Amino acid sequence: MGLTVAVTGPTGEIGTAAVRALEDDDRVERVLGMARRPFDPASRNWKKTEYRQGDVLDRAAVDGLVADADVVVHLAFVIMGSHRESERVNLAGTRNVFEAVTAAARPRRLVYTSSVAAYGYHGDTPVPITEEVPARGSAEHYYSAQKAACEELLAEVTGGSDLEVYVLRPSIVAGPEATVLLRSLPWEQVAPYVPEPIRKALGLVPGLRPVLPDPGRAFQLVHHDDVASALAACVTGDGPPGAYNLAGDGEVTVSDVARATGAYAVPVPGGLVGLTAGLVGLLPYLPAQVEWIHAARHPMIMDTGKARRDLGWTPRHSAARTLAAMADAMR
Ligand SMILES: NC(=O)c1ccc[n+]([C@@H]2O[C@H](COP(=O)([O-])OP(=O)(O)OC[C@H]3O[C@@H](n4cnc5c(N)ncnc54)[C@H](OP(=O)(O)O)[C@@H]3O)[C@@H](O)[C@H]2O)c1
């Protein structure tokens, strides 16, 4: 008999690709996907997948989900949210999932998707970052701090149990179905409030094209389908439990993003990012999203050798191709 896999967050940018990869894996018989909003598996051509309505904040719903699963994949998370909402879902919800899986009799594996952000943004972080580097997080960025806290929680809750625990640490995820990076750019945030003719006109006037400050720091991207193949390898493969960095080959810069999206890149000194980030920390009442500025403070380039070696993972999309595919999808 094949595996039953429970997935929290099956409709997200990673979840959609992950369910597709599990649908294609012969060792998987059934996928139980839990999200708050309903989805129709048949309309996505998913044949093994069933929808379970539920919120990770509801422990009873999580208990019910994991009781029927051999492997649990935890993806439900708030990435772009307020401090309050992200803290509730990401800390309390993730605790529910980790505790429920550890307490349940059936699951033997737990796969959790952390992030490069779990390492935190520190001047003394080595480049490239291997999995040996402690996931310290950065207190000044809610997402980074919460990702590090969840990894600590995971070790605390599952320590001493027989569960096989896999932690994936992807770089920024991108691709035609993962556009959060481009949707978070400043002009995309204001675009819905600008009438269409004016938007078009702005796009045609060179002097008024969107401008992106480029501190010249390269960063990694990973395609959603490559994250999905790593997740499937953790669910059904023979690789040892542990933490795995994930990133596609090569790197891109803000100037590459500008070229791909029709914006202008303006070089700015790296120190300006640190200065701006410092100011953000001093100003009260700013939306939590501005804290993402911290992600650009230091080079965050990961070594992905361990996933390639131990999971047999080979990313099929380079950073440059992934960026191009994401930009195409946004047009
Ligand atoms: N995207 C990236 O660049 C990136 C990079 C590194 C790591 N990651 C990590 O990968 C994981 C998945 O990210 P993603 O990009 O796929 O996220 P996403 O696109 O924002 O999707 C979030 C998913 O979680 C569900 N969800 C959210 N809150 C929930 C709740 N309270 N209860 C149940 N389900 C809930 C959502 O469905 P409903 O809203 O319908 O409930 C949706 O299915 C996260 O842990 C994220 O931190 C992402």
Residue 279 is predicted with a pLDDT of 60
Distances (CA, A) of 261 to 174, 216, 311, 326: 14, 17, 34, 9
With a 6 Å cutoff on the Cβ, whether 15 touches ligand 1 is yes
Q: Render the burial of 143-165: b for 16+ CB within 10 Å, e for the rest.
A: bbbbbbbbbebbeebbeeeebbb
pLDDT of residue 22: 98
At 188 the pLDDT is 62
Between the CA of 144 and the centroid of ligand 1 the distance, in Å, is: 15
Structure tokens at 241: 């439990």
C-alpha–C-alpha distance, residues 212 and 276, integer Å = 15
The ranges assigned to domains in the chain are: 3-173+222-247+301-315
- If you ran DSSP here, which 8-state letter would residue 51 be given? E
Residue nearest to ligand 1 atom 19, measured at CA: 12
- Asked if 143 contacts 120 with a C-beta cutoff of 8 angstroms, the reply is no
CA 13 to centroid of ligand 1, rounded, Å = 7
Give this prediction's pTM.
Answer: 0.93
Residue 9 contacts residue 93 (beta carbons within 8 Å): no
CATH class label, 3-173+222-247+301-315: alpha beta
User: What distance in angstroms lies between residue 125's CA and the mean position of ligand 1's atoms?
Assistant: 27
Distance 205 CA to ligand 1 centre (A): 37
Rounded to the nearest integer, the mean pLDDT of the chain is 90
Which of the residue ranges 27-31, 181-185, 231-235, 243-247 would you say has the lowest mean pLDDT? Answer: 181-185
Task: Check: CB of residue 168 under 8 Å from CB of residue 320.
Answer: no
CA of 269 to the centre of ligand 1 (A): 33
pLDDT at position 199 is 57
Q: Side-chain half-sphere of 287: how many Cα atoms within 13 Å? A: 8
Q: Which stretches of 16-87 are assigned E, i.e. beta strand?
A: 28-35, 49-53, 71-74
Ligand 1 pocket check for 175: Cβ under 6 Å: no
- Quote the pLDDT of residue 190: 55
Flag whether pLDDT at 320 surpasses 80.
Answer: yes
Of all protein residues, the one whose alpha carbon is nearest to atom 27 of ligand 1 is: 76
Assess whether the C-beta atom of 182 lies below 6 angstroms from ligand 1. no
> What's the pLDDT tens digit per position in 127-173?
999 999 999 999 989 999 999 999 999 999 999 999 999 999 999 99
Residue 262, phi-psi category: left (phi > 0), alpha (psi -120 to 50), beta (remainder): left
Nearest residue (CA) to ligand 1, atom 18: 12
- Tell me the best of 113, 150, 172, 322 to mutate to test the pocket of ligand 1, counting ligand atoms within 8 Å of each CB and taking the most: 113
Nearest-CA residue for atom 15 of ligand 1 = 13
Select from 89, 140, 92 the least CA-distant residue to 286: 140
- At 158-213, the pLDDT tens digits run 999 999 999 999 999 999 999 988 887 765 655 565 566 665 655 545 455 677 88
What is the secondary structure of 221-283 as a DSSP string? Answer: EEEHHHHHHHHHHHHHS-PPSEEEEE--SS-B-HHHHHHHHT-EEEE--HHHHHHHHHHHHH-
Q: How far is the CA of 164 from the centre of ligand 1 (A)?
A: 22
Closest ligand 1 atom to 15 CA: 16
Cα–Cα distance, 226 to 249 (Å, whole number): 11
What was the pLDDT predicted at 15?
98
| Pair 129, 116: CB distance under 8 Å | yes
Tell whether ligand 1 has an atom less than 6 A from the beta carbon of residue 81.
no
Distance CA 253, CA 265 (A): 10
The three-point CA angle 124-125-128 to 5° equals: 135
Lowest mean pLDDT among 35-39, 85-89, 309-313: 85-89
Question: Residue 263 has which token pair?
Answer: 């914006």
Q: Is the CB of 8 within 6 Å of ligand 1?
A: yes
pLDDT tens-digit profile of 39-79? Answer: 999 999 999 999 999 999 999 999 999 999 999 999 999 98
